[in-house]
Structure 1
Amino acid sequence: MTDPIVIEAWVEFAVRWLHVITAIAWIGSSFYFIALDLGLRKADDMPDLASGEEWQVHGGGFYHITKYMVAPARLPEHLVWFKWESYATWLSGFALLILVYYLGAELYLIDPNVLDIPVWAGVVISLASLTLGWLAYDRICKSKFGDDNTRLMILLFGILVLMSWGYTQVFSGRAALLHLGAFTATIMSANVFMIIIPNQKIVVDDLKAGRTPDAKYGKIAKQRSTHNNYLTLPVLFLMLSNHYPLAFASQYNWLIAALVFLMGVTIRHFFNTMHQKKGMLWWTWGLTAALFGVIVYLSTLGIPDTAQDATAARDPHAERFASADGFMDVFDIVQANCAMCHAREVFWPGLAWAPKGVVLETEADVASQARAIFLQAGASHAMPPGTANYMQPEDRAAIVAWFRGAN
């Protein structure tokens, strides 16, 4: 019978796969429509009430796209809504948050060295931050302060910096950056669900009732769409950051996350300006490279001497694995096959630190990484990699037997 831990890993993989696919669909449509909107041009022969048009070529044919700032005089029978990409991305992402960080809170969410709190408290803080974050953002955007987009963006960046620092004071470094991404992604998806789509439905209902739609609904939706456009790239970085200890385990991880938002702004500003036919602002790439250089510097500057110990997610049931039958045999196998890379001072050429921050030097190290060892070197042949792989089938069988015996 398939081991439950393997089934759990496959469920997580399936949800992660779904999340990636739906995110690609959402990001693709978002980038396309922002580029389309910025590239619209006036023409003498446009229909009444049309504000711009664009000709495009793709797939062996030509597309003539016309935008109505409020709405056309007649509503077409077939109207395509772009919303499910956003909803599916958030729902699958939240499911992944539950599977990895809530059900695995002792491994990934809570770090007693940061803040020693019970699992339930960590989950409550997580949920509250996502909910209150959206409510605060929405209220600010709807206030008089939100009428000035430049002023609003500066304030929102300040809030993101504050949240970045706050998360690192509560959760593990890995969970802190992931939560900042979830915090931002929740705002983006709620923009679609709570503002953009409802505003468009108001316009549609007005047209069906023979009323003239109010242009303010389109203006509000455009503001939120622009926010989503500039937030997309930072969210992608934060969602991938859990694979890179240099990003999440650094002493300055909160500042690294904040600078990532600025990189997102500079890169998107280049493409948005280009799509508007206002030139190629190459200096934005120089600024982006400079920001990335600062991030690299901060990541190395902020690594404490015991960084590897802090980066790895440790199993809270380590004592059980250490006392299980076959542990010393597994320990010897790990020392012979894994410890040259997974060490506090790495001996493998080209590696400056242990991959993914996993250290396997002592008996306590191996016991605390039982689940990872089982999945990477027992249930699969992922580790050791490439030419470093001298592990024999009987070694992998010993790892499996030890792990199952402890469970």
Structure 2
Amino acid sequence: MDVLGHLVPYSLEWLNLLVRWLHVITGIAWIGASFYFVWLDNNIRPPAPGSELAKKGVSGELWAVHGGGFYNPQKYLVAPAELPKELHWFKWEAYSTWLSGFALLTIVYYFNAQAMMVDRSVADLSSLQAIGLGLGSLVVGWTVYDLLCRSKLGQHDLAFGAVMFAFLVGSAYVLSHFLSGRAAYIHVGAMIGTMMVANVLMLIIPGQRKMVNAMLAGQKPDPIHGLKAKQRSVHNNYFTLPVLFIMISNHYAMTYRHEHAWAVLAGIMLAGVLIRHFFNLKHRGRIAFQYPALGLALLVGVAVAIAPPAPVAGPAVANAKAQFAQVKAIIDARCVACHADHPTQAGFTAAPLGMALSTDAQIVQHAAKIYQQAVQLKAMPLANLTGMTDAERAQIGAWYNAGAKQ
């Protein structure tokens, strides 16, 4: 059992690494394809009236050079007169991104829900309740989004975008009142990712299949399928920057540990949408710097709003060694289970971020990080598994503000 107990967390760590790597690779492939085709749609130019291309039904074309080769992509208004023998379908980039992302969600969050999803200062949930809430959010997110797309609201881009943004912010608000901030963020991202892949699976690919099947049957394809697919593809394009931020947000506790983490996420997501809109307009030949300027202003505003107060110098300490001894005792009791060369906390095979706190020198070396994570953000210990008290956090703060002496 000792050997098995040692190998299981180590194996999970490798599984985490490999699945995360796969998720990043497939995500790059999917988002890269999404960015490219939206760029292509915005840059193709209609052929001259009466030209051979126009007669063939080509609605636009583009000449490009890349990697030493010349390329001439063409877009048909509905479909070519004759179906080509080979036709590439862009779908597995999306499917593999979602599958690897859900696997990663399971490995990191669902296998260790008490540590990663439950924050008892927010809500005292069981692991099953937290996981059920997370999974339920994915189903509710897609259902609401799809119904809104199919409603009359879906015909009005700006109004639809505003309502969808409000729904996502509302979801972040609700989740942040039940789950830990980190878990709330990642599930908003998982909601968006599920909407994106469901667009491909449930609408874009089926619509394209209907058009191909119509051509195979000698019928004229219905252009409505292409229009619906284009709408969902554009939605996916605007979702990308918010979901990419959420993918990396777990490294930045200053965002998800804030008292109003949902509002922080709202500001950053909106900034991402505005920046993406700038590039979409730019591809059409319109330069509108007000959008990235507003996005940058939002990011700066968020950064200023959540900035911690400046530390106040602590009082002179008559016995600095005694003060350090108290702090070391706290760290030994609350932190070293994870932050050691050989952690004893289940699920950890090495000190997080390589930050061991076993020796006096290591504690002093990482004093600023300890202060930020344990005192300012209260993000550590993780889910407060070891029960660090407010009084202990205050002791660490007093030691740091007095100069973090050994």
Shorter-chain TM-score bucket reads: 0.7 to 0.9
**Which structure 1 residue ranges, 4+ long, deviate > 3 Å from structure 2?**
312-316, 341-348, 351-360, 362-366
Structure-2 residue corresponding to 1:28: 32
TM-score scaled by structure 1? Answer: 0.78
- Identify the residue that residue 283 of structure 1 maps to in structure 2: 290
The answer to whether the aligner puts 1:171 opposite 2:171 as a matched pair is no
Q: Which residue of structure 2 lines up, in the alignment, with residue 338 of structure 1? A: 362
2:395 match: none
CA contact (8 A) 2:336 2:357 kept: no
Matched residue, 2:206 = 198
- Taking the aligned partners of 2:98 and 2:150, their CA distance within structure 1 comes to 23
TM-aligned CA distance change 1:347 to 1:129, over 3 Å: closer
Give the structure 2 partner of residue 55 of structure 1.
63
Q: Distance in 1 between matches of 2:40 and 2:134?
A: 36
Alpha carbons of 1:8 and 1:347: their partners in 2 closer, same or farther (altered >3 Å)? closer
Q: CA deviation at 1:359?
A: 5.7
Report what 2:216 is aligned to.
208
The letter for the 1-side match of 2:35 is F
SS in 2 for 1:79: coil
User: Which of 38, 42, 59 is 1:38 aligned to?
Assistant: 42
Match of 1:405 in 2: none
CA contact (8 A) 1:344 1:353 kept: no
Q: Which residue pairs with 2:88 in the alignment?
A: 80
Which secondary structure state, in structure 2, belongs to the residue aligned with residue 57 of structure 1?
Answer: strand
- The aligned counterpart of 1:243 is 251
- Pick the aligned partner of 1:5 from 9, 29, 52: 9
2:61 and 2:27 map into 1 onto residues whose CA distance is 28
Please give the secondary structure, in 2, of the residue aligned with 1:201: helix
> What amino acid sits opposite 1:293 in the alignment?
V
Following superposition, the deviation at residue 299 of structure 1 comes to 2.2
Give the aligned residue type for 1:338.
Q
Matched letter for residue 17 of structure 2: F
How many residue pairs end up in the alignment?
Answer: 345
Q: Which amino acid aligns with 1:274?
A: K
CA shift in 2, pair 1:300/1:333, >3 Å? closer
Q: Give the TM-score, by structure 2 length.
A: 0.78
Q: Residue 234 of structure 2 aligns with which residue?
A: 226
CA distance in 1, matches of 2:309, 2:208: 47
State the alpha-carbon separation in 1 of the partners of residues 125 and 387 from structure 2: 23
8 Å CA contact 2:357, 2:363 repeated in 1: no
Deviation digits for residues 311-355 of structure 1 (CA, Å, limit 9, x no counterpart): x99989xxx969xxxxxxxxx96241433365588579xx99789
Amino acid at match of 1:281: A
Identical pairs, percent = 41
Instruction: Report what 1:293 is aligned to.
Output: 300
Deviation string, structure 1 residues 358-393 (Cα, Å, up to 9, x no partner):
469x99579xxxxxxxxxxxxxxxxxxxxxxxxxxx
Specify the code of the residue in structure 2 equivalent to 1:15: V
Secondary structure of 1:156's aligned partner: helix
Conserved 8 A contact 2:308-2:376: no
Paired residue secondary structure (1:112):
coil
Q: In the superposition, relative to structure 1, how do residues 172 and 54 fare at CA in structure 2: closer, same or farther (>3 Å)?
A: same
User: Unaligned regions of 5+ residues in structure 1, if any?
Assistant: 323-331, 367-407
